Amino acid sequence: MSALALIDGNSFYCSCERVFDAKLERRPVIVLSNNDGCAVARTAEAKALGIKMGQPMFQIRDLCRDSKVAVFSSNYALYGDMSRRMNAIYDTFSPDVEIYSIDESFIDVSRLPVKDRTAWASDLRSTTRQWTGIPTCVGIGPTKTLAKLANKAAKKLPGGVLDLSDPAEQTHVMADFPVGDVWGIGRASQLKLAALNIRFAGQLRDMDPKLARQIMTVVGERIIHELNGRPCIALETVAPQRKGCAVTRSFGSRVTTKVEMEQAVADYATRLGEKLRRHGLATDHVTVFMHTSQFNDDEPQRNVSMTVDIPEATNDTLTLIKAARRAVDALWKSGYRYSKAGIITQDLMPPPIPQRALFDNLDHDRASKVMAAMDEANRRWGRATVVPAAVGIAARSAFTTKFEMRSPRFTTRWDELPECR
DNA sequence: TCTGGGGTCCTAGGACCC
DNA sequence: TCTGGGGTCCTAGGACCC
């Protein structure tokens, strides 16, 4: 009988900020999206104030000031490092761990010599809390979907742990568990289910799998089986090869000139190259898109994209910039206030092995040496220490993303270490 | 004035082939 | 007016996730 635990950090980004400032412990805390646009993480206190997931900052600015909400820009260097520390702890509890997201991991408990799974989970929780400072919840079930459901239900329990191994207990919890909170049921499916008067997880579990397939594709059918304790979604302890890679950003302020757009896209292409090289991958095409803001629908709208092929798969930044620039050239049209652009690639592959023929030119070699030197300089002295000229002086450009309330990178930069006084 | 970013998976429909 | 059947492959778009 399979048994999986799902552990996740409570209000994870907010909890990371609290670890480094004890004074935040009793205050509502929120963390903002890129560009300081909207709230993407809220503590229980912030939720109680009525701050919604994804709510734009300009709508809650007054509330945050009046209620003394601690507001942070997102600090992914910090969250990523805290995540690594947590997973290092999970590895000591089980050999089979799947890192599902930055703050969630599935852990196989079926093969562990554990009698009391609730006690085991409580130990996992308290160890994680003690060693990293991050509060968590743990849900256990025979399938991933039931483990997720147990985890969600555990959030309301004082112990922060719920074991749903027992079918009677599953039935009890699912009876009033909102169907929209089931893993994999989004807004569209929720609407279709409501039309069938299916509102709770228990009703969804008892639905005819064939009907589920009709209205929600095979994804929906799998959910029914998983809720019935029949596993359809396997634990993946080794991360599969990634398939695509993208760098997309909203601008700090609207872009109206071609020069700014070229610099922004060159900057994104530079990041894309860094990412590809970090993963040891390459691509033979890039798609560039740019669009105006859908929220200003009284303004002229434009939403365009173009794919440019690259003759040979590469992760060389200068080649990527050249391809991206061709797309910008073709796509650019003035008279619009662009709010966002990005560069996307799919079908990633390993970089081609350089040909070492007698009369081969050495461009290939030289390019990869330049990239390696650039990556090393940026690793040692901070991102964007060395950038291609096409990017311009990004720090002074209008498109630069806003991070006005970012906390220090406490755990990953020596010069930003916290001090004890 | 100000509204995130980066992924995966699935399906329908068109292009193309024999 | 008649004008097959059945494969495969690719892409765009929808849905969902954190």
Query: Which pLDDT does position A259 carry in this prediction?
Result: 95
Alpha helix segments (H runs only) across A300-405:
317-331, 363-381
Q: In what order do the strands lie in the sheet with A338-346?
A: A244-255, A338-346, A283-292, A303-314
Say yes or no: Cβ of A211 under 7 A from any atom of strand B.
no
Closest nucleotide to A305 by C1' from CA: C12
Residue A230 has pLDDT above 90, yes or no: yes
CA-based R_g, chain A, Å: 24
Q: What tens digit of pLDDT does each residue of A24-48 get?
A: 999 999 999 999 999 999 999 999 9
Q: In what order do the strands lie in the sheet with A70-72?
A: A39-42, A29-32, A70-72
Instruction: Give, in Å, how far the C1' of C12 lies from the CA of A167.
Output: 42
Query: Which pLDDT does position A390 carry in this prediction?
Result: 78
Nearest to A2 by CA among A99, A113, A140: A140
Instruction: Give, in Å, how far the C1' of B16 lies from the CA of A267.
Output: 40
Instruction: Give, in Å, how far the C1' of B6 lies from the CA of A358.
Output: 43
Could you tell me the sign of the dihedral formed by the alpha carbons of A48, A128, A406, A270, in that order? negative
Query: Which pLDDT does position A395 carry in this prediction?
Result: 46
The per-residue pLDDT of chain A, averaged, comes to: 93
Instruction: Give, in Å, how far the C1' of B17 lies from the CA of A310.
Output: 28
Q: Measured between alpha carbons, how far is residue A225 from residues A144, A213, A214, A221, A236 in Å?
A: 11, 11, 15, 7, 19
Structure tokens at A168: 């009677």
Considering only residues 166-185 of chain A, list those whose CB is below 7 Å from strand C: 182-185
Residue A401 has pLDDT above 80, yes or no: no
Residue nearest to nucleotide B5 (CA to C1'): A248
More confident: A134 or A359 = A134
Say yes or no: Cβ of A186 under 7 A from any atom of strand C.
yes
Say yes or no: Cβ of A243 under 7 A from any atom of strand B.
yes
Say yes or no: Cβ of A254 under 7 A from any atom of strand B.
yes
Residue A266 has pLDDT above 90, yes or no: yes
First to last CA, chain A: 52
Q: What tens digit of pLDDT does each residue of A95-120 get?
A: 999 999 999 999 999 999 999 999 99
Q: What tens digit of pLDDT does each residue of A6-18 get?
A: 999 999 999 999 9
Instruction: Give, in Å, how far the C1' of C3 lies from the CA of A308.
Output: 40
Instruction: Give, in Å, how far the C1' of B18 lies from the CA of A347.
Output: 29
Count of CB atoms situated within 10 Å of the CB of A157:
10
Instruction: Give, in Å, how far the C1' of C9 lies from the CA of A189.
Output: 29
Say yes or no: Cβ of A184 under 7 A from any atom of strand B.
no
Instruction: List, as one string, the DSSP characters of A298-319.
Output: TSPP-EEEEEEEEEEEE--HHH
Closest nucleotide to A242 by C1' from CA: B7
Q: Which of A354-368, A376-390, A396-410 has the lowest mean pLDDT?
A: A354-368
- CA A401, distance to chain mean position in Å, is 18
H or E element: which one contains A8? strand A4-9
| Percent residues over pLDDT 90 in chain A | 82
Residue A336 has pLDDT above 60, yes or no: yes
Q: What are A178's strand-pairing partners?
A: A200
Say yes or no: Cβ of A249 under 7 A from any atom of strand B.
yes
Q: Let me know: does A315 contact A277? Beta carbons within 8 Å.
A: yes
Amino acid at A269: A
Distance CA A156, CA A149 (A): 12
Residue A321, SS3 per DSSP: helix
Q: Which nucleotides of B are covered by protein (CB under 7 A)?
A: 1-11
Q: What are A245's strand-pairing partners?
A: A345
Say yes or no: Cβ of A157 under 7 A from any atom of strand B.
no
Query: Which pLDDT does position A387 carry in this prediction?
Result: 80
Residue A242 has pLDDT above 50, yes or no: yes
pLDDT band of residue A404 (cuts 50, 70, 90) is confident
Helix A209-227 with A187-195: angle, nearest 10 deg: 120
Query: Which pLDDT does position A325 carry in this prediction?
Result: 95
Query: Which pLDDT does position A393 carry in this prediction?
Result: 61
- Cα atoms in the 13 Å half-sphere on the side-chain side of A103: 20
Q: Which of A26-35, A55-64, A118-127, A407-416 has the lowest mean pLDDT?
A: A407-416
Q: Let me know: does A201 contact A182? Beta carbons within 8 Å.
A: yes
pTM of the model: 0.94
Task: State mean pLDDT over A298-322.
Answer: 94
Cβ burial of A269 (10 Å; 0-12, 13-18, 19+) is buried
Q: Which nucleotides of C are covered by protein (CB under 7 A)?
A: 14-18
Residue A396 has pLDDT above 60, yes or no: no
Query: Which pLDDT does position A358 carry in this prediction?
Result: 54
Considering only residues 26-85 of chain A, list those whose CB is below 7 Å from strand B: 33-35, 37-38, 40, 54, 56-58
Say yes or no: Cβ of A278 under 7 A from any atom of strand B.
no
Distance CA A272, CA A212 (A): 39
Closest nucleotide to A188 by C1' from CA: C15
DSSP code, position A282: B
